[in-house]
Amino acid sequence: MSDKTNAPFLRNAWWQAAWSDEIDNERGILARTIMNEPIVFFRDKSGKVGAVEDRCCHRGAPLSHGNVVEKGLECLYHGLTFDCSGKCVEIPGQDSIPPMANVKSYPVVERQEFIWIWMGDPAKADESKIIDWPFHEGEKKLPHRKATMPIQVNFMMMIDNLMDLTHLGYVHRKTIGGDPRTHVNAKMDTVRTETGVKYVRWMDDCNPPPTYVKGAGFKGKVDRWQEFEYVLPGSVLQWSGALDVGKGARENREQDGFHLRLFHGITPATETTSYYFWSTANGYRTDDPQATEDMYNEIYPTFVEDVDIMNVQQERINMDPDRPLVGIKADHALVLARRALQQALDEERSAVPQAAE
């Protein structure tokens, strides 16, 4: 388990900072606080995305109030301009630019509709470590829809939530929950992976829910699964699906049937607030845009239910953040996920000697 309920930040890791299209607003600029640091994301005139400290070195004004100009991002206050690397390339009224006139920049990668950011040592920012989510781009691309929800919760509390589905019967009682016993008694196959934790819940030889029937045209019983994979530090890859009984789902799930691919990205804004990014990909009626829309509209209010209970949970935690919680059986995957994070935090701290927090 992490030392604290409010988990600390792992800095040497890729975190989702935004969806690409969040930057592609009218101004080409997006302000976001990550790990307490105000950051401005912008797309320069060449199309490249930059992420720099959202504070001009001259008078401290937020650069996110400025404008993208030919040379880069121009401060609204007195016109200093910075490129994607944070280098000052223009100071109105003077020819030479002093060397300290720069702002901090962060490694960023735009890929598969994600903007990933590296908050730690730039020298360690290895792009090959970025999660692959092929359902947004390329051969495996599926129709999908994305959302960003600001939440008043430590990022790890949302991971906890996704690691323990026994909450479905309670939090989502009025929506997708169904009978609590189903969730509580589901058999879980949970494993520690190299990059986190994965579990699969199997419901064999059962009646498919209406959404599944509508989505994949099942005539009879199905083998269902729910796979959740936590990938350090802030992502959960979900694959919910079903195949007709007899197709050998356990051996090979990659067959025609019902396939819902959900990506969950949770990134800390502060110790107790986060951004919750999610994407839902339609792998069951790929030629029907309405099916993608319907699933999004079904999921959205469900996730709001999660956020509502977690927001008030966090309020209680904040009253005494170090007070212990009591573990129960259903916490198994959650405990493994916390342990994986703690191990990564320990490694980061031992690798880079630093002052105690």
Report the Cα–Cα distance between both ends of the chain, in Å, rounded: 18
- Nearer of residues 20 and 182 to a copy of itself, judged by Cβ: 182
CB of 154 to a copy of itself, least distance (A): 11
- Nearer of residues 76 and 352 to a copy of itself, judged by Cβ: 76
- Nearer of residues 332 and 349 to a copy of itself, judged by Cβ: 332
Residues 6+ apart with CB under 8 A from 265: 15, 16, 114, 234, 235, 275, 276, 277, 278
Bond from prior residue into 233 cis (ω within 30 degrees of 0): yes
CB of 187 to a copy of itself, least distance (A): 12
CB of 356 to a copy of itself, least distance (A): 20
> C-alpha distances in angstroms, 42 versus 56, 104, 349?
14, 14, 31
- Nearer of residues 259 and 338 to a copy of itself, judged by Cβ: 338
Q: Give the dihedral of Cα atoms 98, 117, 122, 194; nearest 10 deg.
A: 180
Q: Which residues bind a copy of itself (CB under 8 A)?
A: 5, 38, 54-55, 57-62, 65, 74-80, 91-94, 98, 100-101, 160, 164, 166-167, 169-171, 180-181, 184-185, 309, 312-313, 315-317, 319, 325-330
Task: For residues 206 and 184, give the distance between their C-alpha atoms in angstroms, rounded to a whole number.
Answer: 17
Task: For residues 247 and 167, give the distance between their C-alpha atoms in angstroms, rounded to a whole number.
Answer: 30
- Nearer of residues 79 and 209 to a copy of itself, judged by Cβ: 79
CB of 99 to a copy of itself, least distance (A): 10
Beta bridge partners of 39: 32, 53
CB of 100 to a copy of itself, least distance (A): 6
> C-alpha distances in angstroms, 347 versus 127, 155, 340, 353?
20, 20, 11, 10
- Nearer of residues 12 and 105 to a copy of itself, judged by Cβ: 105
CB of 318 to a copy of itself, least distance (A): 9
